């Protein structure tokens, strides 16, 4: 199954969350790009973040963030080998 544009927006937003500390999150402001606001809403509805406007990653969110980082890193590394 290919990634859809909304999925990519969610992944990109997910990758913006800091993993240095469980006490750090993100705040999506009301005047942010509507695509980001919508992506945050979808992540919240899926139980990946704990607030509709960002907040903190849930346990599921932390797992998905780790996988997204691995995927992004692997794709970046393979493009530099060409």
**Contact yes or no for 56/50 (Cβ under 8 A):** yes
Only one residue has tokens 């469980």, namely: 22
Q: How confident is the model at residue 77 (pLDDT cuts 50, 70, 90)?
A: confident
Q: In this predicted model, what pLDDT tens digit does every residue of 21-74 receive, in sequence order?
A: 677 899 999 899 999 999 999 999 999 999 999 999 999 999 999 999 999 999
Q: How confident is the model at residue 82 (pLDDT cuts 50, 70, 90)?
A: low
Q: What number of residues does the chain have?
A: 82
Residue 3 has pLDDT above 70, yes or no: yes
Residue 80 has pLDDT above 60, yes or no: no
Q: pTM of this prediction?
A: 0.87
The SS3 call for residue 52 is coil
Longest CA span, the chain: 41
């Amino acid at each position: 199954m290919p990634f859809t544009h909304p999925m990519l927006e969610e992944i990109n937003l997910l990758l913006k969350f800091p993993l240095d500390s469980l006490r750090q999150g993100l705040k999506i402001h009301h005047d942010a790009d509507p695509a980001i606001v919508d992506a945050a809403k979808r992540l919240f509805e899926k139980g990946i973040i704990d607030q509709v406007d960002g907040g903190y990653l849930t346990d599921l969110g932390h797992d998905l963030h780790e996988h997204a980082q691995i995927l992004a890193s692997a794709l970046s590394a393979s493009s530099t080998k060409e």
